[in-house]
Amino acid sequence: MEGMIILNQATILIVDDEINTLKVLSAILSKKGYEVITSHSAEDALSKLNNANVDTIIVDYKLPNMSGIDFVEIVKRDASSPPIIMLTAFGSIEKAVEAMKKGAFNYLTKPVNKDELLTVIREALDKQRLIQENKALKSIIRERHSFQNIIGKSRVMQDLFNMIAVVSKSNSNVLITGESGTGKELVAKAIHYESSRADKPFIPIDCATLPAELIESELFGHEKGSFTGAYDKKIGQIELADGGTVFLDEISELPLPLQKKFLRFLQEKEIMRVGGSKRINVDVRVVSATNRDLQEEVNKGNFREDLFYRLNVVTLRIPPLRDRKEDIPLLVEHFLNKFNKVNNKHISSIDTDVMQALMQYNWKGNVRELENTIERAVVLCPSDTITLRYLPSGIRDMVSDTQQATYGLNLLHTEKMLIVKALEQSSYNQTKAAEILGISRKQLRTKMKHHGLLSSSEDTLE
């Protein structure tokens, strides 16, 4: 496997007071070419950490003076500290979870399974390398406002571009999180096309739209006659993606029994078709996405914790559009160009109040909603400038009514809007509103009546 040589030179620190565990783990890891340092106590380990270049730490939950959890907490105060793998007794999953909450990278239960140990170590080292590379890259990459087809100039998007560049060079499984329409699929594609797998297939699988009973054969394929209706052999998507990338969208929707099968595939890198008995080796990188809080699904028992940690070696979070509004003007320009081309139009500008409305709107549907909004405006707008009337009313309303009213240059309408605004500003206190408007309360009430702003019950109150 490529990259193996570099990974094998990594240094691993093992901390446990049980001599036997130290011996067994050291033997396995040294045999694989890793440099191993051992410690019998947390205190000793902390001083060794200061004096040696350690790439990953394995620490037992139970130590003489200081618990493994406290150890994690201390080590993790330094943001650039290496990943920590916690050893726990069989069946004490709460301890493992507690450790992960404090910042541990993963856990292993005793007695440690050799293959599992090696996989987790590889993942930890992979992550450590990504962190180091990202640190180095951040300082050299100049600011770019697009990456593949992804547009963005905000700090968070710049960081995301860096992470994509780094992650693409590895084979780590990546979990992409973000609200609907934030660009998760776009990021998944960017990872694939930036990687050495670019000329192999990118296969998206939507776990939410596939019927549960079909997902298994869709993913893994089936043999002829394996179930009623399986008239022919079918090659599954994972097998089809060999050498490339599988994008598992809405991963939280993967049914529990399939989660187990999928986990086995991730661990062993081989599949078995439904109804088949042959093990088939498959080399795919798995990128998954969710708009849910997957950790919470784990807590609720809807998602396997072990699968969660396997999929989640690297997490890329895409923030909602409302938290990076500085990206909006660039995105608008991008979509204007796109839909001009598609519709053979030549719209060259948008009014300032249109931009103002776009900047103020909350964008619950994120970039997808913005894209649809611009498409609609381009299609509807007959001139070369998009004006407010071509925005959907919910977005148009972001610009204050008084501002909109001046467009009609209708004096009466403007007066009404100013009164409404003053009332809103004074929390409907008429005396205060009158003060704001520079008229008497009585004048205000007359005007309110004229504009139909007084309810009949209020009318008789005076």
Binding site for ligand ATP (CB under 6 A): 149-152, 178, 180-186, 291, 331, 334, 367-368, 371
Q: How far is the CB of 238 from ligand ATP (least distance, A)?
A: 20
46 binds, among ligand ATP, Mg ion, none (CB under 5 to 8 A by kind): none
Q: How far apart are CA 455 and CA 8, in angstroms?
A: 79
Binding-site partner at residue 284 among Mg ion, ligand ATP, none, CB < 5 to 8 Å by type? none
Applying CB under 5 A, which part among 33-41, 181-189, 280-288, 341-349 lies near Mg ion?
Answer: 181-189
Contact 266, 308 (CB under 8 A): no
Exactly one of 185, 194, 375, 435 binds Mg ion (CB under 5 A); that residue is 185
- In the complex, what is the shortest distance from the CB of residue 403 to ligand ATP, in angstroms, rounded to a whole number? 29
Q: Name the residue nearer to ligand ATP (CB basis): 82 or 152.
A: 152
The one of Mg ion, ligand ATP, none whose footprint includes residue 68, by CB under 5 to 8 A per kind, is none
Span from 123-131, 148-156, 182-190, 263-271 in contact with Mg ion (CB under 5 A) = 182-190
Q: 200 touches which of ligand ATP, Mg ion, none (CB within 5 to 8 A by kind)?
A: none
Q: Taking the complex as a whole, how short is the minimal distance between the CB of residue 318 and Mg ion, in angstroms?
A: 11
Q: Which is nearer to ligand ATP, 260 or 317 (CB)?
A: 317
Closest to ligand ATP by CB, 107 vs 339, is 339
Closest approach of ligand ATP to the CB of residue 190, in Å: 10
Binding flag, residue 206, Mg ion (CB under 5 A): no
**Residue nearer to Mg ion on the CB measure, 35 or 185:** 185
> C-beta of 243: minimal distance to ligand ATP in Å?
23
Q: How far is the CB of 204 from ligand ATP (least distance, A)?
A: 9
Q: Which stretch binds Mg ion (CB under 5 A): 177-185, 259-267, 302-310, 323-331?
A: 177-185
Q: Interface with Mg ion by CB under 5 A: which residues?
A: 185
